[in-house]
């Protein structure tokens, strides 16, 4: 993974109307094996780079936000290209609008952001073999146990900002 805090990477949808820039390192990268993500992507898992919303900048086009059910029951809001309907990021109820879950596969350089944790492995498709060096949990985990200190500090800053509103 690229650890440079100043690096940015661009991404976008399939028809290229929506283009965006993600600035800096994600807070953490989730590979989610829940059944909801499997259904929604039509594949075996979803790969999401969590990052502060203000570090994701639309370069062109606009997104259409669609309320979608999620594993937690609280739903997620998925931002899609209005033309090709590809999902570029989503917001979950837990972290709210302040944190975007960028779909790693829509980045121009997706190889830079491998999973840092595998979640909901209880419903993992059995043919998916996880690398032993990456943490994996049956359901969810505590950020304080796995996130690097820099990401925890950034999360604390977000929470302080939310509390002061
Ligand atoms: Zn598109
Ligand atoms: Zn999921």
Instruction: Tell me the per-residue pLDDT of 21-56, one tens digit each, with 9 for 90 and over.
Output: 999 999 999 999 999 999 999 999 999 999 999 999
Count Cα neighbours of 69 within 13 Å in the Cβ-side half-sphere. 7
Task: Calculate how far, in angstroms, residue 34's C-alpha sits from the geometric centre of ligand 2.
Answer: 4
**pLDDT digit string, tens, across residues 108-128:** 999 999 999 999 999 999 999
Residue 92 is predicted with a pLDDT of: 85
Instruction: Say what the pTM is.
Output: 0.92
Beta strands in the chain (DSSP E): 8-12, 19-23, 28-32, 46-52, 56-60, 64-68, 76-80, 87-92, 99-103, 117-119
Please report which confidence band the pLDDT of residue 165 belongs to, taking 50, 70 and 90 as the band edges.
confident
What are the tens digits of pLDDT across the range 69-119?
Answer: 887 888 889 999 999 999 999 998 777 889 999 999 999 999 999 999 999
Q: Note the ligand closest to the C-alpha atom of 83.
A: 1
Residues with CB under 5 A from ligand 1 (ion): 13, 15, 17, 81, 83-84
């Amino acid at each position: 993974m690229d650890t440079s805090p100043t690096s940015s990477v661009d991404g976008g949808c399939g028809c290229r109307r929506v283009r965006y820039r993600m600035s800096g390192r994600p807070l953490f990268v989730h590979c989610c094996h829940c059944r909801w993500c499997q259904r929604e992507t039509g594949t075996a898992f979803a790969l999401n780079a969590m990052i502060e919303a203000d570090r994701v900048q639309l370069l062109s086009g606009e997104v259409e936000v669609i309320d979608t059910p999620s594993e937690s029951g609280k739903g997620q809001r998925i931002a899609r290209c209005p033309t090709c309907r590809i999902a570029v990021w989503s917001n979950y109820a837990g972290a709210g609008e302040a944190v975007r879950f960028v779909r790693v596969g829509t980045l121009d350089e997706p190889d830079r952001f491998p999973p840092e944790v595998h979640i909901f492995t209880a419903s993992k498709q059995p043919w998916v073999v996880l690398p032993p060096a990456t943490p994996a949990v049956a359901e969810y985990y505590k950020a304080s146990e796995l996130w690097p200190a820099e990401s925890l500090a950034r999360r604390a800053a977000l929470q302080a900002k939310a509390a002061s509103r």
